[in-house]
């Protein structure tokens, strides 16, 4: 089955008791047993819930994965993965990573004995150099957030395999529509389903996909023990959202490409970064490992922080907000907003400067979006 069809049908057969075409919201905490230990696979909704199962089956199909677990949030998914490691384990992470990932790793997981190295993985040789005897995993985000740098997922997975490390990819920015890391050799994919997968800015959720049965069993054991589970209504909303993922991603990308080109030609813009632009330093890698370029753009306005602030106050259609991947366009200032939890010196080293703006391009009509940016820059 093709992606569009799977998004609508995988895991979502009509309800056998009523014929309801849409999956019911199984709003229940427990399940009646016909005798002690005799049940239909469901005992308690922290462990599993039928609406959640349907979401997991659909998301697994979209990532070409055998298994999926849905979580209460993307951070909940990351926390669960981190609990699969133990004191003294070392994890190599790309340097330009989601602010919440950086915070979880450096401020929380280090308190539990995990060690991290943050490296520039755009040069894959850096990965080899960073491996230590206690290294257990490689953590990748590609494209990175907010600088949209790319990491060669296949090359990283190959090195990880040779050294018996887990390769983990946060695929939130591309969604399974544009990129499938498991097909490139990675062991684990995770998503903040809050973003493109749900796509309507009305649920916070996460998901993990893998083909490894031992690993998914371990992660499910941890999830059940720590209780990082989504409620049935959130699972249902996400299933509703994901049905249109293909249509949305196409439009996000179409709009992003036109807006990137518009910004590139604007005299008040210093720099535009979008993997779809031919002048993106890794445009060739983008074409190789992704089927599209996504809906995220970053750009620098001339004049630093004062100009950036002035511009951000003037947009109307682009709402000033954290998050991304919804049908509506959002715009934000990474240094003050999403990446504020990263120390100023680290931000400066990475190139997240005060004039940098990140936009999540929505699926509105592109002419209206461009007019909005034009008036805000004037």
- Where in the sequence numbering do the catalytic residues fall? 46, 98, 170, 195
Of the residues 49, 122, 194, 315, which one makes contact with ligand PLP according to CB under 6 A: 194
Nearer to ligand PLP, 182 or 197 (CB): 197
- Contacts (Cβ under 8 Å, ≥6 apart) of 240: 22
Distance of closest approach, residue 171 Cβ to ligand PLP, in angstroms? 8
* DSSP letter, residue 38: B
Tell me which stretch binds ligand PLP (CB under 6 A): 30-38, 121-129, 167-175, 312-320.
167-175
Indicate the pairing of strand 166-170 with strand 135-141.
Answer: parallel
Asked, as a colleague might, if the bond just before 146 is cis with ω within 30 of 0, I would say yes
Q: How many residues does the chain have?
A: 378
Restricting to residues 119-158, which ones interact with ligand PLP according to CB under 6 A?
141, 145
Cα(110)–Cα(89) distance, integer angstroms: 10
Distance of closest approach, residue 278 Cβ to ligand PLP, in angstroms? 25
Query: Is 80 near ligand PLP (CB under 6 A)?
Result: no
Of the residues 170, 187, 253, 372, which one makes contact with ligand PLP according to CB under 6 A: 170
SS3 letters for 344-363? Answer: HHHHHHHCCCCCEEEEECCC
Of the residues 172, 186, 282, 298, which one makes contact with ligand PLP according to CB under 6 A: 172
Cα(27)–Cα(355) distance, integer angstroms: 46
Angle between helix 232-242 and helix 50-62 axes, rounded to 10 deg = 30
Query: What tokens were used for 291?
Result: 């089927």
Which string of x and - marks every residue 313-352 that binds ligand PLP (by CB under 6 A)?
A: ----------------------------------------
Of the residues 62, 75, 286, 352, which one makes contact with ligand PLP according to CB under 6 A: 75
> Contact at 8 Å (CB) between 222 and 84?
yes
Distance of closest approach, residue 193 Cβ to ligand PLP, in angstroms? 7
- Contacts (Cβ under 8 Å, ≥6 apart) of 148: 273, 274, 275, 280, 296, 297, 298
* Residue 341 CB coordination number (10 Å): 13
Query: Is 204 near ligand PLP (CB under 6 A)?
Result: yes
Sheet holding 135-141, edge to edge: 67-71, 206-210, 188-192, 166-170, 135-141, 90-94, 115-119
Distance of CA 303 to the CA centre of its chain: 31
Query: What tokens were used for 340?
Result: 């504020």
Query: Is 179 near ligand PLP (CB under 6 A)?
Result: no
Distance of closest approach, residue 173 Cβ to ligand PLP, in angstroms? 6
Question: Three-class SS of residue 273?
Answer: strand
Of the residues 45, 53, 167, 192, which one makes contact with ligand PLP according to CB under 6 A: 192
Nearer to ligand PLP, 195 or 252 (CB): 195
Of the residues 73, 79, 167, 223, which one makes contact with ligand PLP according to CB under 6 A: 73
Tell me which stretch binds ligand PLP (CB under 6 A): 169-177, 227-235, 268-276, 281-289.
169-177
Of the residues 143, 206, 241, 295, which one makes contact with ligand PLP according to CB under 6 A: 206
Tell me which stretch binds ligand PLP (CB under 6 A): 9-17, 53-61, 110-118, 189-197.
189-197
Which residues bind to ligand PLP, rule: CB under 6 A?
73-75, 98, 100-101, 141, 145, 170, 172-173, 192, 194-195, 204, 206
């Amino acid at each position: 089955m093709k992606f569009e069809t799977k998004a609508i049908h995988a895991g979502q057969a009509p309800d056998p008791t009523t014929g309801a075409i849409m999956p019911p919201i199984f709003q229940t905490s427990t399940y009646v047993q016909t005798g002690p230990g005799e049940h239909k696979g469901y005992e308690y909704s922290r462990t599993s819930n039928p609406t959640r199962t349907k979401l997991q089956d659909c998301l697994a199909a979209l990532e070409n994965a055998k298994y999926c677990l849905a979580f209460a949030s993307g951070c909940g998914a990351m926390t669960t993965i981190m609990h699969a490691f133990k004191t003294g384990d070392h994890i190599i992470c790309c340097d330009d990573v989601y602010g919440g990932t950086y915070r979880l790793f450096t401020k929380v997981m280090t308190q539990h004995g995990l060690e991290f190295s943050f490296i520039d993985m755009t040069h894959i040789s850096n990965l080899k150099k960073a491996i230590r005897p206690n290294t257990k995993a490689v953590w990748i985000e590609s494209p990175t957030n907010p600088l949209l740098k790319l990491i060669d997922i296949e090359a990283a997975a190959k090195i990880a395999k040779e050294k018996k490390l887990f390769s983990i990819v946060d695929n939130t920015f591309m969604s399974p529509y544009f990129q499938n890391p498991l097909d490139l050799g990675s062991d684990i994919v995770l998503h903040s389903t809050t973003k493109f997968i749900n796509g309507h800015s009305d649920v916070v959720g996460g998901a993990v996909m893998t083909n490894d049965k031992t690993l998914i069993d371990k992660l499910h054991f941890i999830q059940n023990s720590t209780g990082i589970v989504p409620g049935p209504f959130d699972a249902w909303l996400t299933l509703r959202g994901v049905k249109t993922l293909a249509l949305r991603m196409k439009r996000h990308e179409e709009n992003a490409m036109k807006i990137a080109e518009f910004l590139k030609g604007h005299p008040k813009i210093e720099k535009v970064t979008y993997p779809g632009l031919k002048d993106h330093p890794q445009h060739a890698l983008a074409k190789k490992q992704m089927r599209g370029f996504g809906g995220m753009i970053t750009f620098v306005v001339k004049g630093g922080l004062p100009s950036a602030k002035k511009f951000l106050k003037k947009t109307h259609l682009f709402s000033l907000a954290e998050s991304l991947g919804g049908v509506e366009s959002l715009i934000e200032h990474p240094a003050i907003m999403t990446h504020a939890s990263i120390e100023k010196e680290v931000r400066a080293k990475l190139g997240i400067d005060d004039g940098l703006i990140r936009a999540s391009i929505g699926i509105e009509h592109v002419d209206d979006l461009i007019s909005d940016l034009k008036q805000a820059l004037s």
